[in-house]
Amino acid sequence: MASGSGITVVVRVRPLNEMENSRGDSADGVRCMGDRVVLAGQRQLTFDAAFGGPDQAQVFERTEMRALLDASLQGFAATVFAYGQTGSGKTYTMSGPEYGTELDASGAITSASEGIIPRAVRHLFAMLDSYTASRSGVSYAISASYLEIYNEQINDLLNTSSTGLPMRWHAAQGFFVEGLVVVDCETVDELMLVFQEGTKNRKVGSHLLNKDSSRSHSIMQVQVTSRELVALDDPAAGLAGAPGNDHTVETHGRLSFVDLAGSERLDQSGSIGRGARETAHINSSLLVLGKVISALSAAGESGRVGHVPYRDSKLTKLLADSLGGSSLAMMIGCVSPSSAALDESHNTLQYLSAAKRIQNRPVVQMSQASSMAASLKSLRDEVQGLRMQNMALHQQLSSISASGLLQGHGAMSGRSTPQQPFGAGSAQAGMQRTQSVPEHRYEEARQQREQVAAEHVAAELAHLRRQNAHMQMANNLLQRSYNEVKRENDALHDKLERLERVFVDKDHDDVL
């Protein structure tokens, strides 16, 4: 996926909560109408989807969640964010109801009330099992980490004693957190445990707007490594049976689930002391996030991006790839329906409208060796396509030449002589060059062989492209000549008919 891909933006309007009900708030501050969100005063905004009410399943089923999971299995990075004011339903949407409120007999959250993350965990393993069953030579490895950014400090939610972790920059990976626990998960239950453990350890506090308010931004990251054995043997290119021509292509997909802390107004939340300090950190990092979104959305499809202040907060550093980077992304904006929260809901929806204009450039993440193998394979596929085109062009040329109409148009006949496709001989020559490489330098020899094969394929590609372009031109010229001759023939035919009519008329006059 080389071209730009917009961020998918959906909105969720929760039901009125207890406090709003007890105050007698009206629920017509924000309403959903299809994929539109209608604000009191009849202002309407359209998003990729809009949901009202408590139904958790529809948020998973009617958004692009399955496509994002699938993309991670193909080697793409995908991020799902929940954004909105405090108490608007972000944690409910991402995880489910507050931990422990809706438990079944075994102590697990009831499946109907599960949020996006546990649903994604189950679906990911179901998809992965069905892919492994239907495609031989493919295998997957899953691992996961879970962190929170609390007061601008990174804490490991899978190891509560690991706090204040450093963030580093890597040219290929971008920003990453050093020293995070990464858990290998072979089963759905193991990944579910990671989710439950991390969610339980997240900082939660109470204030007037939400008794279980998340005081940190949390990011659960699932790494999806796929390995596929790709046969690079190409009998037509004379490489069949060459040792080391099978390659394991390794892709590194990633799913990031981001539950942002909610913006809050201190006069409404009543947070004081530690709570007020948390609020200040939350609001300032959300402010930077807002600046990043507006800088990127200003660029829109033109792709001309000015300065984006990613480095101004830890949150935006970690989300750099998901906003304007190489990741696929879906943002879920959560809002209250209450007319009393209209200003905050309006702000959230404006944020979301700006996010809709951001263009990401999703790319598959592969290991270097895999990407060389994959590009070699795709070059060979292209050669194969060109060979078929080559044959079709030869046939076309012969049939036009054989039509007989073009005899005398000899300028074309030389060009239409089929040429031998470029190929096997030089490939063999390329292979022979590697035979003298000593055994202990096998890896080096393999790389050289791949290099030679790549050069050979590239040369053949260039040759076929030239030859096909040449034949295409010859075909066009022949077609033009054919049309001219046909036009001349038709004209002669008309003339003949006219003459015949004259003779018939003359005979007729003579008889009379």
Interface positions with ligand ATP (CB under 6 A)? 14-15, 17, 54, 84, 86-92, 97-98, 210, 212-214, 261-262, 334
Spatial distance between the Cα atoms of 292 and 37, rounded to a whole number of angstroms? 24
Q: Which is nearer to ligand ATP, 116 or 124 (CB)?
A: 116
Contacts by 268-272, CB closer than 8 A, 24 or more apart: 268/208, 268/209, 269/86, 269/207, 269/208, 269/209, 269/213, 270/207, 270/208, 271/205, 271/207
Identity of the residue, 209 or 239, whose beta carbon is nearer to ligand ATP in the bound complex: 209
Contacts of 133 (CB under 8 A, 6+ apart): none
Distance of closest approach, residue 269 Cβ to ligand ATP, in angstroms: 9
What's the maximum distance between 2 C-alpha atoms anywhere in the chain? Answer: 125
Q: Which residue's Cβ has the minimum distance to ligand ATP?
A: 262
Q: What CA–CA distance (Å, rounded) separates 87 from 210?
A: 5
The answer on whether 467 is annotated among ligand-binding residues is no
Q: Give the residue with the Cβ less far from ligand ATP, 87 or 325.
A: 87
Q: Please state, in angstroms and rounded to a whole number, the distance separating the CA atoms of residues 205 and 274.
A: 10
Tokens of 305: 């991006």
Residue 226 or 313 having the CB closest to ligand ATP = 313
Q: How far is the CB of 262 from ligand ATP (least distance, A)?
A: 3
Any known ligand binding at 241?
A: no
Paired tokens of 138: 């493919």
Amino acid at 201: N
The answer to whether 89 is annotated as binding is yes
Annotated binding residue 84: yes
The single residue listed with the structure tokens 């931990």 is: 99
Could you give the CA distance from residue 278 to residue 283 in angstroms, rounded to a whole number? 9
Q: Which is nearer to ligand ATP, 210 or 467 (CB)?
A: 210
Q: Please, are residues 276 and 219 in contact by the beta-carbon 8 Å criterion? A: no
> Is-contact 181 159, C-beta < 8 A?
yes
CB of 273 to ligand ATP, least distance (A): 17
Among 30, 102, 93, CA closest to 59 = 93
State the nearest-atom distance from the C-beta of 113 to ligand ATP, in Å: 9
Closer CB to ligand ATP, residue 37 or residue 364?
37
CB of 261 to ligand ATP, least distance (A): 5
Q: Is 91 annotated as a binding residue?
A: yes
Give the residue numbers of the binding site: 84-91
Give the residue numbers of the binding site for ATP: 84-91
